[in-house]
Amino acid sequence: MPFSPFDRDRLDDKRPRFRLIPVRMLLPNLITLLALCAGITAIRLAVEGKLEWAVAAIVFAAALDGIDGRLARMLKGTSRFGAELDSLADFVNFGVAPALMLYFWGLRELGDLGWIAGLVFAISTGLRLARFNVMVDDPNKPAWAAKFFTGVPAPAGAIIVLLPIYLSFLGVPRLPGTAHFTLVYTFAIAVLMVSRLPVFSGKRVGKRVAPEMVLPVLVMVVLFFAVLIAFPWKVLTIGTLCYLASLPFGYLSYRQHERRDAASAAAPNAPAGAYPRSRGEAPPLSPGHGEQPADRDRPTRH
């Protein structure tokens, strides 16, 4: 025998060595899994006809989705595994669950056509997430592109596509054309998600808070959640309508940035970082959440 089987030193050399994973790497993933549990539970609640609780589960999952990425960057716990897990969770939470909720609520009255509408919405969510993961590393996008999404983001799409359900909970009567309106509305939101429409991201808002504004901000956050709990359907309806109304302003703001870049590129002493492009050619839009590679959610999220 080349060495004794009881030679501890030799045995230690043959043992596989595993690197310990710090807790800061696990915490964001646990939050993502919690959001996934909320999305799957929303599907069960929709099947059982408990749509109020199903909507609450989707809103809860959207809130957790806004936390896990920021927490991962704050703790420096980003990883490729977390990025992929986050994308899969978003597809279930904001694609599959809302589509099934709308189908069980009213789209099934249209038969196969209603099922196709829910299917298209779910597939659009998956396509949007896949586009985000592929395009986020684009090195040619200008710095200001981080202020915009490319199309409506998945969490926002899931919240606003449920508008017909909010209206029904507010007491709006279900007229004979309600199912057809829901069908068209679902297709419209699906198109907005996969489109290249520039949408305000809000990622750069609230990263720094002045010391004198800390307490007012905390009070406003608590007040918002209190109002949301007390009047959920009114808050969600108003929020959805305001979000839809803000879409044209995001487009106009993006074009204004483009015109500024074009003017800078055409100037004799254009800065080195100016975005060069020909007239009418749009730069690559920021995919998904519109973050720069060092400040994105999914590709190096946790």
**pLDDT > 90? residue 40:** yes
Measure the CA–CA gap between 125 and 95, rounded to whole angstroms. 5
Render 202-262 in DSSP notation, one character per residue. Answer: -TTTTSS--GGGHHHHHHHHHHHHHHHHHSHHHHHHHHHHHHHHHHHHHHHHHHHHHHHHH
**pLDDT > 90? residue 38:** yes
**pLDDT > 60? residue 151:** yes
Residue 269 CB contacts under 8 Å (≥ 6 apart), including other chains: none
Which amino acid appears at position 57 of this protein? Answer: A
- What are the φ and ψ backbone dihedral angles of 153, each rounded to 5 degrees? -65, 160
Q: Which of 26-30, 146-150, 235-239, 272-276 has the highest mean pLDDT?
A: 235-239
Do the Cβ atoms of 37 and 89 come closer than 8 Å?
A: no
Which tokens in the block code for residue 64? 């957790």
**DSSP-derived 3-state class of residue 22:** coil
Element (H, E) at 87: helix 80-91
At 81, the pLDDT band (50, 70, 90 cuts) reads confident
At 204, the pLDDT band (50, 70, 90 cuts) reads low
**pLDDT > 80? residue 266:** no
**pLDDT > 80? residue 291:** no
- Which pLDDT score is estimated for 23? 72
- Which pLDDT score is estimated for 138? 65
- Which pLDDT score is estimated for 118? 94
Do the Cβ atoms of 298 and 154 come closer than 8 Å?
A: no
Residue 285 CB contacts under 8 Å (≥ 6 apart), including other chains: 141, 145, 148, 150, 196, 198, 254
- Which pLDDT score is estimated for 132? 81
- Which pLDDT score is estimated for 271? 52
- Which pLDDT score is estimated for 2? 53
Of residues 19, 18, 1, 23, the one with CA closest to residue 10: 1
- Which pLDDT score is estimated for 284? 46
Mean pLDDT confidence for 107-115 = 92
149 bridge partner residues: 199
Element (H, E) at 33: helix 23-47
Chain mean pLDDT for the chain: 80
pTM: 0.78
